[in-house]
């Protein structure tokens, strides 16, 4: 991904508080979106491997698709160091658990569609119309899951203060920097090893 430098003159013309809030909101949405999982994962596609100790709300994977205990751990991890009140923690936990419950059905529907699609491709005669119909159903299911995850993220963002969102965005940006650094180091090691 290519980044474009922004001149200090341009940055100086924007109020730093507004820039921080915009950055926090962008980071929160981006981080929670990644955390909530890609729509394909939500619908039962993609990998279902280990998501790491960071939990899905911090960009690790399945997000709201996890079991209730895991969702609660993710909420606690997300709120770490944010000085969230008991009321905020309770509200966010309720939002996340409600989304997880609703998205579980969506995930199961996505898996069934995936199995049906796989079955169609193993038939002696390929039925393009049936495959297309399943593809359209899959896209609709992924969209419904994505809408539900986005609504949960918006609801959670509304519970947090601008300062809490800014701190969360900083943590997510730092985590992203670490991930990118590890990826660069891995690529460098692979280049040094050469082709196998």
- On average, the pLDDT of the chain sits at 75
pLDDT tens by residue, 121-135: 999 999 999 999 999
Nearest to 40 by CA among 117, 129, 121: 117
Which two tokens mark 193?
């090893």
- Average of per-residue pLDDT across 14-42: 44
CA 162 to chain CA centroid, nearest Å: 20
The H or E element spanning position 87 is helix 86-121
Nearest to 79 by CA among 95, 61, 102: 95
Distance (Å, whole) CA 89 – CA 127: 50
What is residue 45's predicted lDDT score, i.e. its pLDDT? 34
CB 113 within 8 A of CB 140: no
CA 136 to chain CA centroid, nearest Å: 23
15 SS3 class: coil
Sorted by sequence, the CB contacts under 8 Å of residue 34 that are 6+ apart come out as 59
CA 52 to chain CA centroid, nearest Å: 14
CA atoms within 13 A on the CB side of 135: 7
pLDDT tens by residue, 54-106: 334 433 334 666 677 788 888 888 898 899 999 999 999 999 999 999 998 88
Q: What's this model's pTM, rounded to 2 decimal places?
A: 0.60
* CA-to-CA separations, 70 to 56, 92, 165, in angstroms, rounded: 9, 14, 22
Which two tokens mark 73?
């751990």
Q: Residue written as tokens 């193993």?
A: 122
pLDDT tier at 8, thresholds 50, 70, 90: very low
pLDDT tens by residue, 152-167: 999 999 999 999 999 9
- Average of per-residue pLDDT across 32-38: 39
Which two tokens mark 4?
């474009």
């Amino acid at each position: 991904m290519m980044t474009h430098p922004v001149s200090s003159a341009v940055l100086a013309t924007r109020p730093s508080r507004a820039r921080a809030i915009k950055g926090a909101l962008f980071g929160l949405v981006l981080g929670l979106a990644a955390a909530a999982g890609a729509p394909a994962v939500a619908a039962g596609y993609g990998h279902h491997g280990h998501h790491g100790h960071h939990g899905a709300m911090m960009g690790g994977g399945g997000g709201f698709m996890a079991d209730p205990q895991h969702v609660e751990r993710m909420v606690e991890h997300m709120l770490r160091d944010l000085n969230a009140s008991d009321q905020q923690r309770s509200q966010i936990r309720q939002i996340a658990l409600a989304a997880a419950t609703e998205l579980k059905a969506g995930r199961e529907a996505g898996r069934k569609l995936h199995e049906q699609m796989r079955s169609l491709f193993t038939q002696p005669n390929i039925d393009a119309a049936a495959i297309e119909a399943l593809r359209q159903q899959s896209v609709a299911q992924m969209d419904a899951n994505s809408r539900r995850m986005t609504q949960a993220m918006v609801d959670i963002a509304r519970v947090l203060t601008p300062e809490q969102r800014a701190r969360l965005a900083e943590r997510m940006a730092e985590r992203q920097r670490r991930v990118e650094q590890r990826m660069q180091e891995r690529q460098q090691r692979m280049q040094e090893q050469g082709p196998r």
